[in-house]
Chains A and B, each alone.
Chain A
């Protein structure tokens, strides 16, 4: 009967129900979009780090993120690392902002990623057209298809210029977006050095370290730190977190996204609380009758919480449908929104929690019911 009464109370006033559901729906969509953007941005920021085949990253002291590695390191660090017990492989990686000159005039900033994929460094993610062999061809580079228009090229075979050098699109990736909106340009290590003005050198932004199987990564790191001066050694997870902090929190972008999500939860809570409260007020005589009939406070609270729960489930389903449409629509944009099963489950939990909190004001109201009012109607 609790469910029946809650369901009927809820559907008795369709307009109020619609207001409640719209409140929950907008709240869910807002939270889903904000958190989806946060997740999407996080993935973009750390995608190259997460896909690198490395246990440890050697970088100049104070390197802030994958794109902002600071000064290039020489070969000394690489040789010292290779001489460290437990180190199996050290692969140089060049990452540098530079200028891309469009064939039809104008320029844009890009991030050149120089890597020898065969050696286990960063691989171009999601190659859609072409292979690593195509990228190794003279002047060849790989860019993401999303940025073709921004780069002023149409596709495979088109040429442009980075610094003094000519480059040719040899392969296309799909879905490799850059949080900085400066597209990644993947190319072999030696060509990358020439594109960033370090031609013929052994300079690198990072050295990616693989340890021998069974080796204690922490122990190897300590050994590396003892040998290397002016360099930092981070685990992949630490570098992942540092990059996130740099772009999401030091720039304020993440705070804005999380703030938007919290605002969505707050707005949803207020709307649901207001409608649940007014619904309870409208049905107060019925609750007083229940009290007069001898129902416990808990029974009445369950009716209100069931109403809140029903609102949450219906609002969640509608909100998620709209959110998924927005997520789908964002996939071809430079900042796609990400929806994962974990985020969907989290949103459901947030919605139920939000509606349960919203029920508090109604429960407080109903707790103060004087059953004697049943005689004064």
Chain B
């Protein structure tokens, strides 16, 4: 498994020094009430910078998806501070959080979450439509993005007529069509075979490196490691480790680093 050279290490290095576009400090999340309260997150610190593909890895129940929901302004933390594109989220109403999501965050879901009654093009257009962008320009932009993800020939197809990989690429197109600074992906390869999984990860890496977006993918799929600039480990609601791909190292060595860390632990 060799990482394709679409990423530019120089860009990666400079991005690592960029100002964070998302910053989470001491995030705590309690789920449930009373005796049944569960501490899903126990004080998480995380920063995302432009031009970087970050993987958030951890076992089931470690708090990955809860953290993703909080970073995506879908869930509010019990305590801690979250800043997205310079805006502190504390005290914002659900509608204000929706505006923040709309303006700065693109989502990719494990089950794609496409609208079965809309074509590939319409599924992407709806992401612009909720932003009030309509008409010819919006349609042209959606076609352009679908072509970018390799689906120029599938514009009018409905999700039911697309393969899993194609559906996830539609979801990627939907996530990036509004040019968000942050793309959050929940298990983007979990429902895909190896070839399609690699294609989607390749796409996410390109989005991060070529378009300068900050991409965070929650995953426990080791196939995704070769594409990562950074791997963040979460266990039992805490960040327990973080590795960054050193300049010049190829992806397999990240995997090795990970293994070494595990062995060391």
- A residues lining the B interface (CB < 8 Å): 1-2, 4-5, 8-9, 12, 285-286, 289-297, 299, 371-372, 374-377
Partner of A375, one of B65, B99, B101, B129: B65
Closest to B72 in A: A292
User: Are B113 and A377 touching (Cβ within 8 A)?
Assistant: yes
User: Are B74 and A374 touching (Cβ within 8 A)?
Assistant: yes
The smallest beta-carbon distance between A180 and chain B, in angstroms, is 57
User: Are A377 and B99 touching (Cβ within 8 A)?
Assistant: no
User: Are B110 and A377 touching (Cβ within 8 A)?
Assistant: yes
C-alpha spacing A286/B129, complex, angstroms: 15
Contacts of B101 in A (CB 8 A): 292-294
Which of A286, A294, A371 counts the most B-chain CB atoms under 10 A from its CB? A294
Q: With A293-B101, A294-B99 in contact, is A375–B130 under 8 Å at CB?
A: no
C-alpha spacing A299/B174, complex, angstroms: 18
C-alpha spacing A1/B103, complex, angstroms: 19
> What are the interface flags for B97-137 relative to A under an 8 Å C-beta threshold, 1 for contact and 0 otherwise?
01111110101011101011110001001110111001000
Q: With A294-B101, A294-B103 in contact, is A8–B74 under 8 Å at CB?
A: no
Decide if B95 is an interface residue (CB 8 Å cutoff): yes
Decide if B186 is an interface residue (CB 8 Å cutoff): yes
User: Are B118 and A4 touching (Cβ within 8 A)?
Assistant: yes
C-alpha spacing A290/B69, complex, angstroms: 15
Contacts of A1 in B (CB 8 A): 122, 125-126, 129, 134
Decide if B85 is an interface residue (CB 8 Å cutoff): no
Partner of B115, one of A5, A292, A296, A377: A5
Contacts of B115 in A (CB 8 A): 5, 8, 286, 289
User: Are B98 and A285 touching (Cβ within 8 A)?
Assistant: no
C-alpha spacing A286/B127, complex, angstroms: 12
User: Are B102 and A293 touching (Cβ within 8 A)?
Assistant: yes
C-alpha spacing A295/B125, complex, angstroms: 13
Decide if B38 is an interface residue (CB 8 Å cutoff): no
Q: With A8-B118, A375-B109, A377-B113 in contact, is A294–B131 under 8 Å at CB?
A: yes
C-alpha spacing A1/B95, complex, angstroms: 21
Contacts of A293 in B (CB 8 A): 101-102, 107, 126-127, 130, 174
The smallest beta-carbon distance between B142 and chain A, in angstroms, is 11
The smallest beta-carbon distance between A238 and chain B, in angstroms, is 56
User: Are B109 and A296 touching (Cβ within 8 A)?
Assistant: no
The smallest beta-carbon distance between B118 and chain A, in angstroms, is 6
C-alpha spacing A376/B187, complex, angstroms: 11
User: Are A5 and B126 touching (Cβ within 8 A)?
Assistant: yes
Contacts of A2 in B (CB 8 A): 129
User: Are A371 and B74 touching (Cβ within 8 A)?
Assistant: yes
C-alpha spacing A299/B65, complex, angstroms: 26
Decide if B44 is an interface residue (CB 8 Å cutoff): no
Partner of B98, one of A4, A296, A374, A375: A296
User: Are B102 and A295 touching (Cβ within 8 A)?
Assistant: yes
The smallest beta-carbon distance between B2 and chain A, in angstroms, is 31
C-alpha spacing A47/B149, complex, angstroms: 74
- What are 12 of the A-B contact pairs (CB < 8 Å)? A1-B129, A1-B134, A4-B122, A5-B126, A289-B115, A293-B126, A294-B99, A294-B130, A372-B69, A375-B110, A375-B186, A376-B65
The smallest beta-carbon distance between A291 and chain B, in angstroms, is 7
C-alpha spacing A1/B118, complex, angstroms: 10
The 4 A-B residue pairs with the shortest CB-CB distance, nearest first, are: A294-B102, A8-B117, A295-B130, A1-B129
The smallest beta-carbon distance between B98 and chain A, in angstroms, is 5
Closest to B129 in A: A1
Closest to A289 in B: B113
Decide if B240 is an interface residue (CB 8 Å cutoff): no
The smallest beta-carbon distance between B172 and chain A, in angstroms, is 14
Contacts of A295 in B (CB 8 A): 98, 102, 130
Q: With A290-B126, A292-B107 in contact, is A12–B72 under 8 Å at CB?
A: no
Decide if B68 is an interface residue (CB 8 Å cutoff): yes
Decide if B90 is an interface residue (CB 8 Å cutoff): no
The smallest beta-carbon distance between A226 and chain B, in angstroms, is 69
User: Are B107 and A299 touching (Cβ within 8 A)?
Assistant: no
C-alpha spacing A291/B131, complex, angstroms: 12
